[in-house]
Copies of this chain bind each other. A is one copy, B any other.
């Protein structure tokens, strides 16, 4: 019966504290020396635990300043959570326009994906994303209503940063990873209208499940992407 390595246990304790909301984004964790004392391990072991969390992008280190819960800034969203690139290869941040926001009962498939009890309420948001002033992506986002009390059209439209930055700061929902399923589909009436293309045009359907700590799902979205002048980028290996 082998026990887990010490640094794994330390990692777990750190993660538990982070999940609990001790050390909100922006405030530094105690120093490595302090934490290693608190956990009665050597600095090397503490560092190995932090190394893992940094690799998972839960934490971020800054030499001379401290260690922080990784913030959801524009760069991170662009690099990790926005896969659409202009065909010229340059990756620009899209303008996001929230078209609608309302609360509704989740249908069974949505409940399943978000691991919610049947009949739970969800917030449904429609976003239109434009790149260089031309509309490219139509997003349909489903959020568990219980986690997003107080989310309104106004809050959505007046947020200063990215969506995930809003989630992190206002709702203490920290999106860490996600999985996307990509298929080809035809533009329906709605996509055709919003994106300025003909009905039936081939386009991408991208489904995303976003996960927070311990791989708990917190967002489900379906995007329709016009790939006439853009592509979906994916790294292998």
**B208/A182 in contact, CB under 8 A:** no
Neighbouring B residues of A178 by C-beta, 8 Å = 235-237
A183 at the interface (CB under 8 A from B): yes
Q: Which of A178, A181, A203: most chain B Cβ within 10 A? A: A181
**B208/A184 in contact, CB under 8 A:** no
**A186/B202 in contact, CB under 8 A:** yes
Neighbouring B residues of A176 by C-beta, 8 Å = 237
**A234/B183 in contact, CB under 8 A:** no
- Digitize A198-233: 1 where CB-to-B-CB distance is under 8 Å, 0 elsewhere: 000011100010100000000000000101000111
A75 at the interface (CB under 8 A from B): no
A185 at the interface (CB under 8 A from B): yes
**A236/B80 in contact, CB under 8 A:** yes
Which of B83, B180, B231, B236 meets A183, CB within 8 Å?
B231
A157 at the interface (CB under 8 A from B): no
**B183/A204 in contact, CB under 8 A:** yes
Interface residues of A in 12-47 (CB under 8 A from B): none
Of chain B, the residue at the smallest CB distance from A83 is B234
A179 and B234 in contact, given A185-B202, A186-B202 (Cβ under 8 angstroms):
yes
